[in-house]
């Protein structure tokens, strides 16, 4: 099916990679994004070998690698800061590095330029006010007053998905996982050539994003609810009191409240198929995960490739969506459930999870073909 237009709701990682993948197969695409500034969090994201492989299949891996920092190992440190192990990462898309750390704005720029250069139309500051599946097409009225028809609609609109709320009435709302993640950008030491993780009462990581910058992330148990931006830097520093000396020293550089990204962790896993008629979900809209296995964005990128492949194989998008779900649901469900198990274990709400074993098993799962 390459002669009919698709609407993608959401201009984030999943929506833009879906646009690139669909354009690879000749499908006309319109992406709408509610944010007129197309802004994203200024901190980074780490992406593992299966994601690098997927981006290579999208044909944009050179720009992607140039915009980030490639690395080939993960280092684990004891609570006192001693190096415990340096574990090589599997390389699934040689000659490209096994892992990439990249700033989210840089990733968004690479994906946005790739989508537009391949012919996708992108409209910013626009939402879908009404989505009506008419059986042979989907009629959409936009917030700017326009009304257009599409062969199918992709809901890539994230955790709070409007599309999920409208078409999947039986789906539960996002569930708070009991933890939050804190992130802050810092200068990258010249000798830092990989992801570093620190064990202890508070789990902390340092991830390179480019030659100049890394970001610190830590996961803590916090009450549910919003927090004021004022005072976040001091609050983040206070969470590092029991960490390794090197981490506490880095904490002294956390001084800018506006630079702290504080995100409560929620999960969603839509049971059953991820489509209703000609409307389908992708990424966090269907299967939002906590970050404990580092695969949230990776699952959205893989979704995009599989969705585009199945759309190209089937004349009817509903058949394509059923095949897409059959291929993706087991892997995405595995990531959501096992990430949540780690999260619950860290809170004493379940059995503690051996992170080394969990990561090794996860790599075996995601190394399998899509």
Label residue 3 by pLDDT band (50, 70, 90).
low
Label residue 202 by pLDDT band (50, 70, 90).
confident
Return the pLDDT at 185. 97
Mean pLDDT of the chain: 95
Whole-prediction pTM: 0.95
- The domain at 6-69+100-174+267-366 falls in which architecture? 3-Layer(bba) Sandwich (3.50)
Label residue 226 by pLDDT band (50, 70, 90).
confident
Read off the pLDDT of each residue in 92-120 and give the average, rounded to a whole number. Answer: 97
Secondary structure of the chain in HEC code, one letter for each residue: CCCCCEEEECCCHHHHHHHHHHHHCCCCEEEEECCCCCCCCCCEEEECHHHHHHHHHHCCHHHHHHHCEEECEEEEECCCCCEEEEEECCCCCCCCCCEEEEEHHHHHHHHHHHHHHCCCEEEECCCEEEEEECCCCEEEEECCCCEEEECEEEECCCCCCHHHHHHCCCCCCCEEEEEEEEEEEEECCCCCCCEEEECCCCEEEEEECCCCEEEEEEEEECCCCCCCCCCHHHHHHHCCCCCCHHHHHHHCCCCCHHHCEEEEEEECCCCCCCEECCEEECCHHHHCCCHHHCCHHHHHHHHHHHHHHHHHHCCCHHHHHHHHHHHHHHHHHHHHHHHHHHHHHHCCCCCCCCHHHHHHHHHHHHCCCC
Question: Is residue 354 over pLDDT 90?
Answer: no
Label residue 201 by pLDDT band (50, 70, 90).
confident
Q: Give per-residue pLDDT as tens, 21-41.
A: 999 999 999 999 999 999 988
What are the extents of the domains in the chain? 6-69+100-174+267-366, 176-266
Return the pLDDT at 281. 98
Query: What is 176-266's CATH number, 3.30.9.30, 3.75.10.10, 3.60.60.10, 3.30.390.50?
Result: 3.30.9.30
């Amino acid at each position: 099916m390459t002669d009919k237009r698709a609407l993608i709701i959401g201009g984030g990682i999943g929506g833009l990679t879906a646009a690139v993948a669909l354009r690879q197969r000749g499908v006309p695409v319109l992406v709408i994004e509610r944010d007129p500034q197309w802004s994203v969090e200024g901190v980074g994201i780490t992406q593992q070998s299966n994601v690098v492989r997927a981006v290579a299949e999208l044909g944009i891996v050179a720009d992607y690698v140039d915009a980030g920092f490639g690395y080939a190992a993960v280092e684990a440190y004891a609570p006192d800061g001693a190096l415990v192990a340096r574990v090589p990462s599997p390389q699934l898309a040689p000659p490209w590095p096994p892992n990439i750390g990249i700033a989210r704005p840089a990733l968004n720029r690479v994906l946005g330029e790739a989508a537009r250069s391949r012919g996708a139309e992108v409209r910013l500051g626009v939402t879908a006010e009404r989505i009506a599946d008419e059986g042979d097409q989907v009629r959409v009225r936009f917030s700017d007053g326009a009304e257009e028809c599409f062969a199918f609609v992709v809901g890539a609109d994230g955790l709070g998905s409007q599309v999920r709320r409208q078409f999947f009435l039986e789906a539960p709302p996002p569930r708070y996982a009991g933890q939050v993640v804190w992130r802050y950008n810092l200068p990258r030491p010249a000798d830092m050539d990989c992801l570093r993780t620190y064990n202890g009462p508070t789990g902390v990581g340092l991830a390179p994003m480019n030659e100049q910058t890394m970001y610190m992330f830590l996961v803590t148990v916090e009450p549910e609810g919003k927090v004021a931006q004022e005072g976040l830097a001091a609050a983040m520093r206070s969470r590092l009191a029991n960490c390794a000396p090197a981490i506490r020293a880095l904490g002294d550089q956390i001084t800018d409240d506006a630079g702290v990204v504080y995100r409560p962790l929620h999960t969603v896993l839509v049971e059953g198929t991820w489509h209703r008629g000609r409307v389908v979900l992708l990424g966090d809209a269907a299967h939002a995960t906590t970050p404990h296995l580092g695969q949230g964005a990776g699952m959205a990128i893989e979704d995009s490739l599989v969705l585009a492949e199945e759309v190209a194989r089937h004349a009817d998008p509903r058949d394509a969506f059923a095949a897409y779900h059959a291929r993706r649901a087991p892997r995405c469900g595995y990531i959501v459930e096992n990430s949540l198990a780690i999260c619950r274990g860290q809170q004493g709400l379940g059995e503690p999870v051996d992170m080394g074993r969990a990561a090794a098993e996860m790599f075996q799962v995601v190394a399998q073909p899509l």
